[in-house]
Amino acid sequence: MGQFKRSLSLQTTIAIVVGGVIGSGIFMKPALMASQLGSPILLLSVWVVAGLITLFGALSNAELAAMFPETGGQYVFFKKIYGNGFAFLYGWAAFAVFNTGGNASIAYVCSQYTNYFIELPRFSAATEHAFLWHIPWVGNIFPLENIGVKALTICIILLLSFISYRSVQYGGALQRVFTLLKVIAIILLIGGVLGSGKGSMHNMVAVLPAAPQGWDLLGAYVAAIAGAFWAYDGWNNITFVAGEVRDPQRNIPKSLFAGLSFCILIYVLINLAYIYVLPIDQLAASSFVASDAAKATWGAIGGSVIALIVIISTFGTTNSNVLATARVTFAMGEENRWFHWAGKVHPNYQTPGNALWLNAVWAVILIISGSFDMLTDMLIFVSWFFYGMSALGVLILRKRMKDAPRFYKVWGYPYVPLVFIGFTAFFLCSTLYKDIHNYQNGTAPVINALLGALIACIGIPIYFFSRKRKG
């Protein structure tokens, strides 16, 4: 891969972190999380806990990014720590599960909020469930389910892939507009709702009658944290462009700390705004929580305005992620003959065109196969396995490369990475247990974690059969 110019300043890197994190999750997940927990106080605590755990993982990764400030992010880290095979498995999982799945999920939210204005077509329930794909040991997938939303999501992915394919400048200009509108959305939602005087702080202490207790509460809390993790995901996008960051040893750690701290504050305030105007029963039952909160504050026009801004926000986040996530697929092409085609730069447009279209095609397949919640649960499980392995890599390199220069050392070592590794192990085990339990009870058609792991593990035989022969 060619060398990139280091032109990204600290302000830009902070913007990349914030822009990569704040996307669709905060507009979709709070309603489901409220129904799982049944308590506004617990809902707010989830956003703080998930934010702090994410920050621990990000700061651990920042030590690696400062040591190896190269474009490719965790793909580069894993080559240094675990070797080419594990790095390829990460690259494959990024391509097959969490990068393309993340792009599909964010675009899916954009399409769902379009339903607020236009009722997108869908088949009858009988037709939707008449055609299914059965995956042994995983479950059933219904490709015809919610077909109108899926079709629009596919169009969004293909359109933004085409824009990034033709020109990085066009995609960048588009992103600046959507980022500005996203900031406006956040200011309107928090300031307008909390300052309206049309809510009640009494909503903070109301609890759903069927709120979980005991061990059920622990399971519900873990499930809610998974939703919050999805909303915080995207912070590692900054490592994908580490080779283009000015003074990366200083600016990457600073941008991760400042950017994620800002996101934690924003997420708590947005949820506080939702709770202020929507009692817990209404919040838990909401399909368009941001729009419903605005509607309760400003009437019908408020819901429409917020729904439109959510569409613009998620459209912009999808646009930024489409090109950023294709960099990992592009990087794999250098060392793998099956992906060699994806590692080529377009001769006219100077873009990673082949990688963009490969990601787009697979994202379309994921869109057809799953819903928003299925996609996010699947990709969060797999991506957090690799986040945990990154933090473990910090401990390994402290032993293996004792004398290597470290321009940034993770604060609180070894406790911060150890806490993150321990929590990651607990989160992965509890998520798998919850998914299997829900599948056995018939409340979920698919074991999402197992499906994601199965797709990721397909990369093992692919690696051995597709390695470039040397000599």
Give the model's pLDDT for residue 1.
46
- Determine phi and psi for 134, rounding to 5 degrees: -105, 125
Give the model's pLDDT for residue 161.
93
pLDDT digits (tens, 9 = 90+) for 194-229: 998 888 888 988 888 888 888 788 888 888 988 898
To which residue do tokens 């759903």 refer? 208
Asked, for residue 129, whether it belongs to a domain, the answer is yes
* 3 state SS of 402: coil
Give the model's pLDDT for residue 140.
65
Domains in the chain: how many in total?
1
Work out the angle at residue 245's Cα, subtended by the Cα atoms of residues 241 and 246, and round it to the nearest 5 degrees.
170
Task: Give yes or no for a contact between 46 and 53, defined as CB atoms under 8 angstroms apart.
Answer: no
Of the candidates 429, 117, 146, 95, the residue with the CA atom closest to the CA atom of residue 437: 429
Asked, for residue 4, whether it belongs to a domain, the answer is no
Average pLDDT of span 300-313: 82
Give the model's pLDDT for residue 417.
94
Give the model's pLDDT for residue 133.
66
Q: What b/e readout covers 287-321, taking b as 16+ CB neighbours within 10 angstroms? A: ebbbbbbbbbbbeeebbbbbbbbbbbbbbbbbbbb
pLDDT digits (tens, 9 = 90+) for 342-351: 878 778 877 7
Q: Which neighbouring-strand residues pair with 141?
A: 133
* DSSP string computed for 267-307: HHHHHHHHHHHS-HHHHHH-SSHHHHHHHHHH-HHHHHHHH
Neighbouring C-alpha atoms within 13 Å toward the C-beta of 241 = 28
C-alpha distances out from residue 365 to 21, 101, 359, 362, Å:
24, 10, 10, 5
pLDDT digits (tens, 9 = 90+) for 324-339: 788 888 878 777 777 7
**Secondary structure (H, E, C), 404-450:** CCCCCCCCCCCHHHHHHHHHHHHHHHHHHHHHHHHHHCCCCCECHHH
CA–CA dist 420, 432 (Å, integer): 18
- Determine phi and psi for 219, rounding to 5 degrees: -65, -40
Neighbours of 395 (CB within 10 A): 15
Of the candidates 248, 237, 246, the residue with the CA atom closest to the CA atom of residue 406: 248
Average pLDDT of span 277-300: 87
* DSSP string computed for 115-177: TTTS------HHHHHHS-EEETTTEEE-TTTTHHHHHHHHHHHHHHHHHHHH-HHHHHHHHHH
**Residues of the chain with pLDDT > 70: what percent?**
90
Asked, for residue 356, whether it belongs to a domain, the answer is yes
In the chain, the amino acid numbered 189 is L
Task: Give yes or no for a contact between 351 and 167, defined as CB atoms under 8 angstroms apart.
Answer: yes
Asked, for residue 177, whether it belongs to a domain, the answer is yes
Is the pLDDT higher at 4 or at 451? Answer: 451
CA–CA dist 10, 20 (Å, integer): 15
Q: Is the pLDDT of residue 175 over 80?
A: no
Asked, for residue 359, whether it belongs to a domain, the answer is yes
Lowest mean pLDDT among 36-50, 99-113, 253-267, 429-443: 429-443
Task: Give yes or no for a contact between 76 and 324, defined as CB atoms under 8 angstroms apart.
Answer: no
Binned at pLDDT 50, 70 and 90, residue 171 comes out as low
Q: Which pair of tokens denotes residue 197?
A: 């005087």
CA–CA dist 377, 31 (Å, integer): 16
Is the pLDDT higher at 111 or at 6? Answer: 111
Asked, for residue 2, whether it belongs to a domain, the answer is no
Task: Give yes or no for a contact between 125 and 80, defined as CB atoms under 8 angstroms apart.
Answer: no
Of the candidates 278, 89, 307, 107, the residue with the CA atom closest to the CA atom of residue 198: 278
Q: Is the pLDDT of residue 138 over 60?
A: no
Neighbouring C-alpha atoms within 13 Å toward the C-beta of 253 = 17
Q: What b/e readout covers 35-74, taking b as 16+ CB neighbours within 10 angstroms? A: bbbbbbebbbbbbebbbbbbbbbbbbbbbbbbbbbbbbbb
Asked, for residue 357, whether it belongs to a domain, the answer is yes
Q: Which pair of tokens denotes residue 320?
A: 């930024």
In the 8-state DSSP scheme, what is residue 188? I
Work out the angle at residue 457's Cα, subtended by the Cα atoms of residues 452 and 461, and round it to the nearest 5 degrees.
150
pLDDT digits (tens, 9 = 90+) for 68-119: 887 777 888 899 999 989 999 999 888 888 888 888 888 988 898 888 788 8
Work out the angle at residue 46's Cα, subtended by the Cα atoms of residues 43 and 48, and round it to the nearest 5 degrees.
115
Give the model's pLDDT for residue 372.
55
Binned at pLDDT 50, 70 and 90, residue 392 comes out as very high
**pTM for this model (two decimals):** 0.81
Q: Is the pLDDT of residue 470 over 60?
A: no
Asked, for residue 3, whether it belongs to a domain, the answer is no
Kindly report the CATH number assigned to the domain that includes residue 144: 1.20.1740.10
Residue ranges making up the domain that contains 434: 10-466
pLDDT digits (tens, 9 = 90+) for 10-20: 877 887 788 77
Q: Is the pLDDT of residue 471 over 50?
A: no
Q: Which neighbouring-strand residues pair with 245?
A: 8
Neighbours of 198 (CB within 10 A): 11
Q: Is the pLDDT of residue 136 over 90?
A: no
Q: Which pair of tokens denotes residue 69?
A: 């400030």
